Amino acid sequence: MRVFVPRHHLGHRPELDLSDGLPGVAHPEVPGRVDAVLAGVAAAVSVDRVDVESQALRAVRALHDADYVDFLLELGASLTGATQYLPAMFGSDLREAPLRHRAGMYCREVGTPITAGTVPAALNAASAAEQAARSMVETGEDAMALCRPPGHHAGRRRYGGYCFFNNAYVAVSALRQRFAKVAVVDVDYHLGDGALEFAGEAFPYYSLHADPCANYPYWDRAALQRPHAHLTTFPADVCGAAYLALAATVIDSALAAAPDALVLSLGFDTLGSDGIQDAKTRLVVEDFLGLGRLVARAPCPVLLLLEGGYDVRQLAACSHGFVSGFAPGRS
Ligand code: Q9C
Ligand code: ZN
């Protein structure tokens, strides 16, 4: 399997995570996640690794609002060294405010610091998603992109949840060159509140997640009703068997819509030992094998995109399990 690995993610080293309102918690979205996931994949299948150096500025501009992209580029360029930028002011119209106070227009969570290397890394992650999608357009075969930073919390003009640009919908845009209907299936622990904004008839969004009102993104119940978004919540203390039964239902309903390609937003933060969870699941490493088998049912090409997953010591075992379940029987 072709695996697209962004190279500039190493320049993105967030330190401050204030998203629980508690200073001093080490940031979980660490560079080591990418190599851990890659090691697990490479132990399960033969990997054709493609290092990605490029930045998907054009694709990101086509998906996100111009003032949002311009703001991130300008703010990122203003930072030097290891400075960790977090917004201090929040409000919907801060256009006249100094640059450092404008982030509050675009952010609803203070767990996503920006450093000098962050925006180049986010554009490079989007590029890995785009390159993987182009590879699928050319070959019609499954591909994988180890996007970091992740993307599913990034909306049209909003960052947060460790995400800046919506890698999955960047991929969707590229896939639509060949595939008329593209379903996005999101199995990250969290609801992809950014992805919700991009769902459409030709690119519906299906997600299985922890209760998004009681877990990050702590969403308004009313805002969950979005066209072309099919949302399923798992119980707070879900076990592997119950989780996989729900996952089968979600995946089968996505496949029932007869997509020509599928994008899987693959988060490993459903693992019970992942520290990000507000309510603990009972999933174990072996459950990712079962999940891989369910996704392998897709009769169309599948693009695997990394989202969350923060138990770094278990990530290789999780990705190994997933790919071991997924790869057999796929060309
Ligand atoms: N104790 C992704 O998995 N902090 N983002 C939540 C809960 C934000 C996670 C704190 C979590 C964002 C892509
Ligand atoms: Zn997550």
Tell me the pLDDT tens digit for each residue of 109-129. 999 999 999 999 999 999 999
Mean pLDDT, the chain, whole residue set: 97
Q: Is the pLDDT at 24 greater than 80, yes or no? A: no
Structure tokens at 144: 């994988």
Question: The tokens 């379940």 sit on which residue?
Answer: 325
Neighbours of 113 (CB within 10 A): 22
Mutation to probe ligand 1, out of 276, 310, 315 (largest number of atoms < 8 A from CB):
276
Q: What is the rounded CA–CA span in Å between residue 140 and residue 39?
A: 25
Kindly report the backbone phi and psi dihedral angles of residue 36, in degrees, each rounded to the nearest multiple of 5, phi listed first.
-65, -45
**Contact by Cβ (8 Å): 168, 129:** yes
Structure tokens at 91: 């409000």
Mutation to probe ligand 1, out of 112, 153, 216, 266 (largest number of atoms < 8 A from CB):
216
> What's the CA-to-centroid distance between 188 and ligand 2, angstroms?
5
pLDDT of residue 179: 99
- Report whether residue 111 contacts ligand 1, using a CB cutoff of 6 Å: yes
Read off the pLDDT band of 295 (50, 70, 90).
Answer: very high
pLDDT of residue 6: 98
Q: Per residue in 41-99, pLDDT tens? A: 999 999 999 999 999 999 999 999 999 999 999 999 999 988 999 999 999 899 999 99
Q: Per residue in 4-19, pLDDT tens? A: 999 999 999 999 899 8
Q: What are the residues whose beta carbon lies below 5 Å from ligand 2 (ion)?
A: 188-190, 267, 269, 308
Hey, is 52 helix, strand or coil?
A: strand
pLDDT of residue 20: 87
Q: Per residue in 245-278, pLDDT tens? A: 999 999 999 999 999 999 999 999 999 999 999 9
Q: Per residue in 186-222, pLDDT tens? A: 999 999 999 999 999 999 999 999 999 999 999 999 8
Number of the ligand 1 atom closest to the C-alpha atom of 190: 3
Read off the pLDDT band of 33 (50, 70, 90).
Answer: very high
Structure tokens at 159: 């960052």
Nearest CA to ligand 1 atom 2: 308
DSSP 167: H
Q: Is the pLDDT at 25 greater than 90, yes or no? A: no
pLDDT of residue 21: 83
Strand partners, 51: 5
Q: What is the rounded CA–CA span in Å between residue 303 and residue 9?
A: 20
User: For the chain, what percent of residues have pLDDT higher than 70?
Assistant: 100
Residues 157-177 have a mean pLDDT of 98
pLDDT of residue 15: 95
